[in-house]
Amino acid sequence: RRFDHALIVGPPGLGKTAIAQVLAAELATDFFEVLGQSIKHSSDLNSVLLAATAGSVVFIDEAHELKTEFQTALYLALDKRRIILSGGNKSNGSPQSLPLNDFALLLASTDEHCLLQPLRDRMRLLLRFSYYSVEELTTVLLQRARALGWEIHEELLPQISQRSRGTPRLALRILQAVRRVVRSEGEFTITASHCLRACALDQLDDL
């Protein structure tokens, strides 16, 4: 059984793409990813939809960048589970109908109101992402440091979290900057002094 069509909404850097990848991995199914702004022609959209296998996950990131005609074509394809191709240069010029496999469509957007209402209505799940707390970001940073085998004074992690504006992507970027300071000084354990040095270089204060 496939996953339900879903709209993933939230500011940049909160893990919308990551959760789509995790869902596909947990379902042990194929994962097809495309950026909304990369779909320039109807053939671009059709190729993605036709490539999708049964039960797979089709992920369109920055879906609000899709032109309205492609959004319309997308929700019509979901309704009919098929796409209509124009006749092109064929002698009879008649359109051709091609069936689609039963896939799960995941749309990610930072601005859901740029999506057509009929398309939003066809998304059975709304997954809304919000900014992380300092405690949540601290957990993310600790997990990343342990996964990479970095030696770190754990009490400095909240300092990084406070400077990350609730965004895991920024928190991990700062952590990597601190790590670079450590290596540039020929040391191995990340300390509070390294954190302050890295933040000074990036002009990040407590606010």
Half-sphere exposure of 140 (CA within 13 A, CB side): 21
- Catalytic, 40? Answer no
CB 95 within 8 A of CB 87: yes
Active site residue 17: yes
Q: Which residues of 174-189 are buried (b: 16+ CB within 10 A; e: fewer)?
A: bbebbbebbeeeeeee
Kindly name the residue from 1, 2, 4, 17 that is annotated as catalytic.
17
Report residue 97: phi and psi, to 5°. -105, 125
**Per annotation, catalytic residue among 2, 67, 144, 169:** 169
Residue 110 appears among annotated catalytic residues: yes
Active-site annotation holder among 44, 102, 110, 163: 110
Interior/surface letters 17-28, b for 16+ CB within 10 angstroms, e for the rest:
bebbeebbeebe
**Is 104 exposed, middle or buried (CB count within 10 Å of its CB: 0-12, 13-18, 19+)?**
buried
Active site residues: 16-17, 61, 110, 169
